[in-house]
Structure 1
């Protein structure tokens, strides 16, 4: 069975229209051999898949991967893609979710980039898989909350076990919070790919230190001391191999951390700035606006999502 969905902007199951961009839509499928979805025009939203049994194959642009139990595979918007049951697999049981990814998720996914916006987070330790599965169940329950209520509608779980659509702001935000837990659990525990060929291990270590705690009072001197380099040598190596200075990379990490705090907490903007490592609130407002195209307060109020 082959489904061509080149005009659709979201996940296309056989016979099911795709959601428009901006919605949170998810489902749980168990498909037999022959299940294939092709989308030559790609999608306007992100697609997250979590395999629980069997095997699937996914391609995105020129990149491709096979998904097995415990693998989170993420497809970014904008590239032709397709997916289906792997040829030698008896079936493919998986969760999928279409949404606009929060910007703060991207640093967690980037170490698993296989090219062309295909992210393969593998393997998730077996001890965490039940918790990931529980997060998807909670995501589905929260997505099905009727507008204006605090609880799922009675019987909605039994009505349609395959697809759920979050229709209002509360349902969408709760569902995204559950998906964020999936991203953090899998990306934080999976085995990351080796550093790019030729990347100095000391530079890779500095990148890890920045990513682990962007709000810390890092300086070129302090980072250099952690990897037994002189500050000038670190700055030269880092800029040559990464394409930007250590302090530029640190500022980017701090801005992404601030964006996540604005999305996920009610902290005052000044405290967000401090927690993200910015000493001056004025400087924080200026660089945040430069990076995201709006001031922090507008970003928190639901400004346009920035994906890079």
Structure 2
């Protein structure tokens, strides 16, 4: 296997090109901090996504947000599904593959420094660890905050991101469960409902619609999400719609009214109120606000 050059902002050679889209940031090594974040991001993988490396110069924490796949760390293979995180680093062979029918969507962050290994050892986070988090939403939000802060590229970005990554590692460790604890009928039902919402969120407009599509009672759906998620089913549905609307506004010249209709909101005024509650800025100003946050 060919050696990989040291990754850097000028040479992000470790990033796969087998992705549909991504949001990433990079920092140069400064050696001013014993715990340095080097990169972070979100990848929406293609069906043929495959990573196969003999090692990596930093520690990497990856967290699966959607899709399916597999990871092999130091010769041990594990299944990947939403809520699974895994950790690897220098000297550890690793292979990551996406399921062609359900491509992976995953967050990642890389970190290094003299204190990084000690931090992992102190908190029983061993490279090669693969585990599941039942309530993944706080971890997703922390990763989104990491990417947003890292992309600002200000003098505070590095120390902020270092604190966030340490928080992420501790959250993953605290919430880690044996995968066998998810092999229950209730969790299987929750997973089925979650996948239904993820695949049909544009056509589902209410909690009752979700319940009908899944052939379950709405109160039972709410109890499932209370047990296995940090959002209600309707909050989860709404967030997916707003993420879709945000992508439309950023990646096209679509109008707010058109974005509302395409996201299942016939009333653009109601859409604007909901959008602002999720993204903290009205859709009419979203493009400008996001462009202002891009590093220069």
TM-score by length of 1: 0.45
Q: TM-score of the superposition, structure 2-length normalised?
A: 0.47
